[in-house]
Structure 1
């Protein structure tokens, strides 16, 4: 079962289409990484799922129910979220801030101490939030999202502004949630390295369009080793390879082939030479995840 699905989801602001025909599928129990450059439409999409922005077109399904104005509140009672930056009352303590959210959400009072412990703020619960560090404020925002232990947790760039230790701590917390509490986590980021270390499913968005959606393993599979050949006649070489049922594609002056054994590579070299096609260069290559991200998004990856 998919916890979140969108079909043909669009959002237009004036003449600008920020989200275009988006079809997301977030499996139950997954940490789904929603990845893309800044400005790609990630936050806009998450706001539409949460009912904070009205879609221009398309439909949203959460927990198998089509979200509409009549059932939105009931559905959102089972959803926790942290969008952009956490909201808080600086003159109140961390515990007092959570008590307000707990009352509004109708969550059990005992949840306050439990979520403070989960995000490791139980030792700072009596401190005014105005005196919290940025990392502590992010963890307080996560604690507020965890109140009531929702089935779905939506986090928008939760590691923004954190130092390396804070990023590691936030990542470990997110990774533990499905196994510990049975939650599904939908987390957005522009950092490929972050998603690579916490997600098991990935959706990549570019200028409002979904350009990749699959498991993280499938994304890694795109970085398999391959051979790159340059010959005196790439067109003729491609024809000869096709006749020999060796798959190849032409990219930037090179023929790209699956990885061959040394014996098969030597045999291929002799085969081309016998047909008067000289081999100028043979390279073993592997695309990095960063290269794949660049290809999919058309923008410099943040690493």
Structure 2
């Protein structure tokens, strides 16, 4: 697999506090990589190191197959767009005028302004003063600035922060379209698993500065526990009957837990218990959701 970003032993210390610890990050080319973790976990510090805005205490960063250093940093960043924290704009200028400043600095054709504004659906508001923009419009203008050069790599730090549900959905749709339309690789950080789940192809979870999980979003879904929970009027007797019939079960929190069963197999269990004069009070399907997995990982800082 081709990785657009790789880090090896990446660490950052501020005084006595180690904010990022021995991070081994691998972002496949063409992926939407969700960088997930609670507030203060080290997400922004990591992304700033990837952009050369913060110097690592230890470790290496490889971008586009090249080890980033002081000599080639600017060359690498020419193919990188970013939106870190909240976008900075001149409120007294229009959206188009703000982008024109960046267009001249980045030395890209003027048509790139119209293309970027259309891409983030701000072309109808381009002549409006940015001071009159809503928060969502300012976020989209910041994304347009990051897209001005049609970069190979786009790094976004909490791009949905402060947006209303409609703004979040719009930003999510924009991000999801970028790899399909332009072949971009996107790294997007968030503290909300539900957001990452709806747009990412790969995910890295960071807790207390350490990477506790990294793989595809599908593999994370596979970690969710799926079982049947059974409550009877005689759980001990029920477990004995089920075990004698070769059905694995265990007691937990007042329920008898069974493996995932097809409907007919579940009905067979109920018939076995009824025949043994054990009353079935409740049978329910349970699945450990992604939020539970995320909390287990980040609160306990344990790797899967």
Is this a same-fold pair by TM over 0.5?
A: yes
1:223 alignment counterpart: 224
Distance 1:137 1:78 in 2: 23
Distance 1:147 1:65 in 2: 23
Distance 2:219 2:40 in 1: 25
Quote the offset at 1:284 in angstroms: 3.9
1:68-94 Cα offsets, whole Å, 9 max, x none, are: 111111001000000000011111111
Distance 1:54 1:143 in 2: 27
Distance 1:19 1:44 in 2: 7
Unpaired segments of 5 or more residues in structure 1?
271-278
Q: 1:263 to 1:121 in 2, by over 3 A?
A: closer
Quote the offset at 1:285 in angstroms: 2.1
Distance 1:2 1:11 in 2: 22
Structure-to-structure mapping, 1:69-88, within 5 angstroms: 69-88=70-89
Q: Is the 8 A contact 1:88 1:97 kept in 2?
A: yes
Unpaired segments of 5 or more residues in structure 2?
273-279
Distance 1:280 1:209 in 2: 44
Q: Please give the TM-score of this superposition, normalised by the length of structure 1.
A: 0.84
Quote the offset at 1:256 in angstroms: 6.3
1:135 alignment counterpart: 136
Q: 1:280 to 1:87 in 2, by over 3 A?
A: same
User: SS in structure 1 opposite 2:127?
Assistant: coil
Q: 1:18 to 1:251 in 2, by over 3 A?
A: farther
Distance 1:51 1:36 in 2: 21
Structure-to-structure mapping, 1:106-185, within 5 angstroms: 106-185=107-186
Distance 1:201 1:41 in 2: 18
CA RMSD of aligned residues (A): 3.0
2:197 alignment counterpart: 196
Q: Is the 8 A contact 1:108 1:148 kept in 2?
A: no
Q: Is the 8 A contact 1:29 1:185 kept in 2?
A: yes
Farther-moved stretch of structure 1 (259-268 vs 174-183): 259-268
Q: How many residues align?
A: 289
Distance 1:15 1:268 in 2: 59
Distance 1:21 1:151 in 2: 26
Distance 1:13 1:120 in 2: 40
Q: 1:170 to 1:148 in 2, by over 3 A?
A: same
Structure-to-structure mapping, 1:1-303, within 5 angstroms: 1-227=2-228, 232=236, 258-261=259-262, 263=265, 284-298=285-299
